Amino acid sequence: MSLRGLLFHRVILMSGSALSPWAHASAMATSSSVAMASSASTAATISLTNGKDVAKRFAQRVKCPSAPPSSMLECLRQIPLQFYVESELWSTFGPSEDGVIIEEGFRESLLRDRLSRYPLLFGVTKAEMLPYISDHDASYGLETEKRREVLKQFVEKFFSVHRNEILAAAIHEYTDWERPVQHPISVRDETLDALGDAQVVAPLIKAADLHSQSNAKSYFYVFEYQSKVSDYAQ
């Protein structure tokens, strides 16, 4: 297809795409979009938290009835705003595939069809999720219990079923079992790898795979340069 007359001729997607879990509020996800998917060969469907599930779970937390819906809504209207602000149950803000306005699978079609006319460069960095942890943890590392807490919080935010299995798989796959001592810095790096693969790397690789099915000009880079004046020493 000729690119003459188009406003854009090439595209660079850095650290994200329409397939990233934080780019939309989806009700479903596959294990390939999770951290442990880097080594998993299956793509078993795992339910994410949709709007109704979030509302019911929040209602239970603030001791409101979860059914019938009219009673739940009436009770939730009486809950102070601060409870909503402090809640950690909310899913990603963004478009959802409702089947009416936004059809299911439109992101995959977009990459195969409209975006397939452009050469695409996909890119990730070595530590995508560094802002996800505190400055103290970034500088001094994570103990194994803190690692479990961080990953557990992530799993509970994005998944409503098989949480224990997902958490156990993530910890197992992102632990160097040949290392006799789990140093906090190494645990930090492994935790960031798990979070980064789930949130950024795996979805971006899927996007690259879809695009490359229609356009051979698909490129991928990993930026891992770290200067001597970096806030976090190597």
Contact 29, 137 (CB under 8 A): no
CA dihedral 224, 225, 227, 231 (to 10 degrees): -10
More confident residue, 27 or 221: 221
The predicted-structure confidence for 203-212, as pLDDT tens digits, reads as follows 999 989 988 8
In this predicted structure, the answer to whether residue 192 has a pLDDT above a threshold of 80 is yes
Residue 45 phi/psi, 5-degree rounding, is -75, 130
| Segments making up each domain of the chain, as ranges | 11-50+91-223
DSSP 8-state class, residue 21: G
Cα separation, 32 vs 30, whole angstroms: 5
- β 28-30/45-47 pair status: antiparallel
Instruction: Report the SS3 class of residue 58.
Output: helix
Q: State the pLDDT at residue 58.
A: 86
Contact 198, 33 (CB under 8 A): yes
Q: State the pLDDT at residue 205.
A: 93
Q: Burial letters for 65-75: b for 16+ Cβ neighbours within 10 Å, e otherwise?
A: eeeeeeebeee
The predicted-structure confidence for 71-109, as pLDDT tens digits, reads as follows 999 999 999 988 887 776 655 556 777 677 777 777 777
